[in-house]
Structure 1
Amino acid sequence: MTTASLNSKYPQRFRLESIVTARTALGNQEAFLGVSISKTLVLRLFLFTVFANGFFADAMLFVQSNGFFFSLLSLFGISLIKVYACWMVMSKVDQAKLELEGWLDYAAVAGLCVLLVAPISGLTWAGLSAVVAYFIVRPGRLNDEGRAIGLVLVGLSFSTFWGKFIARIFMEQILFFDAKLVSLFSGTGSEGNLVNSLDGSVTLVVTEGCSSFSNISLAFLAWLVARLAWGTKGFGRSVMFVSLNIAIVLVVNSVRIACIAWWPQHYTLIHGPIGANIVNVILTVSILSVVNYGARR
C-alpha cells in the first residue's frame, strides 16, 4: 500500500504523527541551540572572568614597573604557557560534564562566584583550586575530560598563586640550591645565596625573582595542558617528560645567571628585559616542544 493510500485511509493518524515528528525535531533543535551552546558560552565567559580577575593584579604591577608598550609585548608578564593553558581550557570546556548533587556541590560553585566579586587575585586562585579539587575527588561528578580540565586549572592555580606561597616558606633552601647549581656551571664558589663572579670583582645575589622554582611549576602545567590536548594517559610517561622539563628549566636558568658571573660587565643586558625575554622564549619553546612530543607519542 502506498503512502498516498495510507494517508487517504488514515488521514488523522498520519497528520498527528507528522505533527509529533516535526515538534520533536524542532524541540531537539531548540534544545541544542538554546541549551548546549548557551551553556558552553556561559562557561567560557565564567572562565574568562576567573582568568581576568586572577591575572589582573600582577598584570597591573608589571605595567607600573615596565610601561604599557613593553608590557604589551611581554603579555603583561603572563607566561605564554599560562595563556596556552587558559585557551585550551576554554576550547575544551564543551566536552566536560559536571554533575551537581546535593547542597554541598551547589555551595561550592556559589562560593567561587562570591570570590569573583572581590577583585583579589589570590582569593580567585585559591577558591578556584579548592572548588575544582573538591569536584575532582568527589566520585561521579566529572567525566574524564572534565577531570583533565580540572587538573589544568589546579596546575594553573599552583603556578600562579600556591607556588609563590610555598616558595616563600622554603625560600632560603630554594635559593641555596639555586646558588649551588649556578656555581657548578660558572665554576665559581657560592655561599648561601651568594655566587662569586669569575674574576672575583663582584658577588651575585640570587633572589626570589632569579629562582628556578617558578618556572618548574610551568613544567608541570605545560604537561597537564598537553595531556588535555592529546588525551594522553600513563603515569610513567608523565614522570619522564615532566622530569625532562624540570632539568631543562634548571639548566637554562642556571646558565643565564652563570653568564652574569662570567661577564658581570654585561649584567644589564643579561639580567634586564632583553635577556629575560630571550630566556623566556627559550624556556617556552623548549617546554612546549617536549610536552607535545611526549603527549603525542
Structure 2
Amino acid sequence: MTIETLRPGELGRSHLFFGVCLIATLNGFFGHALRAVEERGMAAAAMDLFGVSAILWVALAAGLALLAGDGDRRPLRREDLPIALLAGGAALFPAATASSAALALVAVWTIATSAPRAPLRRAGIIFLAITGALLWGRLMLATFSGPLLSADALFVANLIGAEQQGNTLWIGDRWSGIVVAPGCSSMQGMSLALVFWASVNQYFDVPFGWRPALYCLAALAATIAVNVLRIGAMLRWPEHLEEIHHGWGYHIAMWTTLLLVVAICLFGARRAVFRPL
C-alpha cells in the first residue's frame, strides 16, 4: 500500500488546523479578557492573565506545540479545508460561544480522523478539553444548576454540620445563611482540572489506563475539596465573608487548587514527564 506524502511547499493537516485552533481559542478567551480590562484596567488585567486561567494558557501552548511539531507528512483530506473554513468563519464572529463551538468542531474532527496517539489527535483532545472549560461546563452548569449547586451545599453541610435545603446553607438562624451561587460551583474548578490533566497526558503521550484515570479523579476531588472548604469558611465565619469570597480567601483557594491540580497531574504522569532524553 502506498502512503501519499506532502509535496514541497504543500500545506499539511496539522499546520492548517494550527491557525484555526489558535484563532478560535483566542477568540474564546476574548470575552474574559475584555471584561477583565474593563473592570481592572489594562495593567491589572495583564497581571491576572486577562481573566483567563493559567491552565488554559498552558493548554493552548501544549496543543499548538503538538501541531507545530507534527512530522506527519500526509496531505490534507478532502474534507479538511471545508471544515477549517467553516470553523474559521465561526471563530471570527465576535462571540465566545461561536468560537468555542468552532474549536469543538475542529477538535472532534481531528480526533476522529487521526491515528491513535498521533500528534494531531492528541492536540485535538487538548482543544476539546479547553472547550469543556469555555463552553460545555458552563452549559452543563446552566442546565443542571439545581442538582450541581445542591451537591456542593450537601458536601459543605456534612463537613461543618450546617443545615441545608437545596443550595441554601445556614447554621442556627436560617436568615443568616448563604446561597451557593453558580459562581461558587465546583464545576468551574473541575473543568480546569480536566483541561490540565488532558494537556499533561496528551503532550507527554501518556497511554490511557486505570492509573491516569485515577489521577484525573484525584485532581477533580481536590478542586471539590478546596471549594467546599472555602464555602464552609464563609458560612462558619460570616464576619469575614467578603474577604473569603472576594479577597484573600479567594486567592488562597485559587492558588491552592492550582498547585494541587498541577502536582497531582504531574505526579501521575511523572514517568513520561521526567523520561530521560
Shorter-chain TM-score tier: 0.7 to 0.9
- 2:223 pairs with 1:249: yes
- 2:164 pairs with 1:190: yes
How many angstroms does 1:219 deviate by?
1.7
Give me the whole-angstrom Cα distance separating, in 1, the residues matched to 2:15 and 2:181.
43
- Number of aligned residue pairs: give it: 263
- 2:87 pairs with 1:117: no
Give me the whole-angstrom Cα distance separating, in 2, the residues matched to 1:70 and 1:277.
15
Go from structure 1 to structure 2 and tell me whether the alpha carbon gap of 1:113 and 1:164 turns closer, same or farther (over 3 Å shift): same
How many angstroms does 1:93 deviate by?
1.6
2:65 alignment partner in structure 1: 91
After superposition, give the CA deviation of every residue in 1:40-86 in whole Å (9 maximum; x if it has no partner): 88765554322221110122123334444443332222111111101
Contact 1:197–1:203 (CA under 8 A) maintained in structure 2? yes
Relative to the length of structure 1, the TM-score reads 0.80
How is 1:141-290 mapped onto 2 (pairs within 5 angstroms)? 144-197=118-171, 202-290=176-264
After superposition, give the CA deviation of every residue in 1:12-32 in whole Å (9 maximum; x if it has no partner): xxxxxxxxxxxxxxxxxxx5x
Moved more, 257-266 or 40-49: 40-49
How many angstroms does 1:200 deviate by?
6.2
1:8 alignment partner in structure 2: none
Go from structure 1 to structure 2 and tell me whether the alpha carbon gap of 1:113 and 1:207 turns closer, same or farther (over 3 Å shift): same
1:51 alignment partner in structure 2: 25
Relative to the length of structure 2, the TM-score reads 0.85
Give me the whole-angstrom Cα distance separating, in 1, the residues matched to 2:100 and 2:256.
27
Larger radius of gyration: 1
Contact 2:190–2:220 (CA under 8 A) maintained in structure 1? yes
1:100 alignment partner in structure 2: 76
After superposition, give the CA deviation of every residue in 1:258-277 in whole Å (9 maximum; x if it has no partner): 11111110011100143222
Give me the whole-angstrom Cα distance separating, in 1, the residues matched to 2:23 and 2:196.
22
1:24 alignment partner in structure 2: none
Where 1:150 maps in the other structure, the secondary structure is helix
How many angstroms does 1:290 deviate by?
0.7
Where 2:206 maps in the other structure, the secondary structure is coil
Give me the whole-angstrom Cα distance separating, in 2, the residues matched to 1:209 and 1:84.
23
How many angstroms does 1:179 deviate by?
0.5
How many angstroms does 1:100 deviate by?
2.8
Give me the whole-angstrom Cα distance separating, in 1, the residues matched to 2:61 and 2:201.
14
Go from structure 1 to structure 2 and tell me whether the alpha carbon gap of 1:131 and 1:161 turns closer, same or farther (over 3 Å shift): same
- Segments of structure 2 that go 5 or more residues without pairing to the other structure are 1-7, 272-277
Q: Which amino acid aligns with 2:249?
A: G
Give me the whole-angstrom Cα distance separating, in 1, the residues matched to 2:172 and 2:267.
38
Where 2:269 maps in the other structure, the secondary structure is helix
Contact 1:197–1:204 (CA under 8 A) maintained in structure 2? no
Go from structure 1 to structure 2 and tell me whether the alpha carbon gap of 1:288 and 1:66 turns closer, same or farther (over 3 Å shift): same
Give me the whole-angstrom Cα distance separating, in 2, the residues matched to 1:64 and 1:184.
39
Q: Which amino acid aligns with 1:123?
A: A
Give me the whole-angstrom Cα distance separating, in 2, the residues matched to 1:222 and 1:143.
18
Give me the whole-angstrom Cα distance separating, in 2, the residues matched to 1:123 and 1:141.
28
Moved more, 43-52 or 86-95: 43-52
Go from structure 1 to structure 2 and tell me whether the alpha carbon gap of 1:150 and 1:40 turns closer, same or farther (over 3 Å shift): closer
1:28 alignment partner in structure 2: none
1:294 alignment partner in structure 2: 268
1:130 alignment partner in structure 2: 105
Where 1:190 maps in the other structure, the secondary structure is strand
Contact 1:196–1:204 (CA under 8 A) maintained in structure 2? yes
Q: Which amino acid aligns with 1:92?
A: L
Go from structure 1 to structure 2 and tell me whether the alpha carbon gap of 1:266 and 1:69 turns closer, same or farther (over 3 Å shift): farther
Q: Which amino acid aligns with 1:263?
A: W
Q: Which amino acid aligns with 1:115?
A: A
